[in-house]
Amino acid sequence: MVRIHELTALQQYRLLQSRELSVLELVDHYLERIERIDPELGAFVTVTPEAARQRARALDASDDRTAPLWGLPLADKDLWRRAGVRTTFGSRLFADFVPDESDALPLRVDAAGAVSLGKTATPEFGLPSHSETLVAPPARNPYDTALSPGGSSGGAAVAVAAGLVPFAPGSDGGGSVRIPAAACGLVGLKPSRGLVPAGSGLDALAGLPVAGPISRTVTDAAFLLDGLIERRGDRIAFTHTLRPPEDDDGLFLGAAVRGEGRFQIGVTTDTPWATDYEIVVSPEARAALDAARSGLDALGHGVEELALDPAPDYGRAFRVIWQAGASQLPADDSNEHLLEPLTRWLMHRGRALPASELAWALRTLSLYERSLIAQLSRFDAVLTPALALPPRPLGWYDPDDGERNFEQQVLFTPFTSFVNVSGLPAITLPVLQTAGGLPMGAQLIGRPGGEATLLSLARQLERRLHGDRMHPPQW
């Protein structure tokens, strides 16, 4: 007997549409799992069972089931405000904050017909690549609860991997969708800058953070991405500055379901962080890269090595942007003691930056964006490791030394942030498990607006390597 959570999100949606399953039955199934399983995992900071059941009943009573995510449960990352629901931003500064208004992403998933079950764990203001905070228990990797799920969408990834929700949206400013997806054996898609209007990156410093899906399968990632994109008539309201999606109708799910095409793939372990830090690709990460490369080669794609040009100013420029972003936090002498050491370090460094340094950093990253796009332009996609190291132990990051903490984040995730800087799309997917049972993934970086190609490639790899069959013990 197949249990509900063992079905893909798309399969659950079809059961809802055929009325073989009610929204309330689906919501109750996941709420029961959250109550029973999540205490050991810490995926959720806040669960909202009453609101979820009320919305489920309203949807069940409606005759209109045309919304793209109609009736499907998911959860809000705790960086997004939802009216009437405690929103901490992962910080003791907002431990008891209950907003009166919702942010754009929760409003979008509501309009798409989804049902929020609560708020998922995130580190303080989403700044680190883990999900440990002082405002709540840490999110734990379901494959090994002594390990971190990564971050900053760590709680969302834990919830999806453990079958507490079928999929979840996350935000990705330096890898925050792809990092926890890779650490938890999931698919994580960072869209092109501007593709998702409710999380476009166009209004952010250097255009880094965008909203994207975390899911167990490639088709579910495409399904959720379609739901996150606003439509007018049959056309996507596409705001990307370069070109529209590759499918004329903008339906990314079709590209994932078909999983067709032969493409030219570049492979690299180069990273612009290599100038600043000694980047070491672990044997586990190398094995995952090799598995993905062999799979693509066996599928008939053209695969060749790619060497990236050195970028000696990249690290300094990215740090300036990260610090400048933290300078805007609502903290002063009266309450900054509530901030965690890394956040305080970033905030004070950011507030000490001269305007000329910020202007230099913005120009440097803009030039890097142009350079990287040009270097990758002869390929349909570029393959890299998803992470340089296996999932890290809880407490691995230095809690007191901001400089060291930042370095550790780079050593763990040297292949993600430069994709944000370039505005390119990228997808991570699981390709193997280590001898100890931990998932390891690979990353594919696409051309501007190249989500359809990435989804097609990822689906082909998924069919060959069966990463969608990986599940943690709680499954």
Q: Looking at the annotation, which residues are catalytic?
A: 77, 152, 176
Rounded to whole angstroms, the Cα distance separating 260 from 376 reads: 21
In this structure, what token pair is assigned to residue 203? 């209004």
Residues paired with residue 212 on neighbouring β-strands, in sequence order: 170
Tell me the C-alpha to C-alpha distance, in Å, between residue 188 and each of 160, 215, 268.
11, 7, 20
Rounded to whole angstroms, the Cα distance separating 156 from 164 reads: 9
Burial class (CB in 10 A: 0-12, 13-18, 19+), 115: buried
Rg over CA atoms, the chain: 21
Could you tell me the strand order of the sheet in which 44-47 lies? 44-47, 115-120, 73-77
Region label for 395, one of left (φ > 0), alpha (ψ between -120 and 50) or beta (otherwise): left
- Of 354, 272, 277, 270, which is closest to residue 320 (Cα–Cα)? 354
Half-sphere exposure of 452 (CA within 13 A, CB side): 17
Rounded to whole angstroms, the Cα distance separating 229 from 242 reads: 17
- Of 195, 248, 268, which is closest to residue 415 (Cα–Cα)? 268
Q: Cα 163–166–169 angle (5° rounding)?
A: 115
CB 129 within 8 A of CB 147: no
- Of 213, 229, 237, 172, which is closest to residue 454 (Cα–Cα)? 213
Q: What is the DSSP string of 142-185?
A: TT-TTB---SSSHHHHHHHHTTSSSEEEEEESSSTTHHHHHHTT
Rounded to whole angstroms, the Cα distance separating 289 from 384 reads: 7
Is the bond preceding residue 215 a cis peptide, omega within 30 degrees?
A: no
Rounded to whole angstroms, the Cα distance separating 412 from 281 reads: 9
Number of Cβ atoms within 10 Å of the Cβ of 466: 12
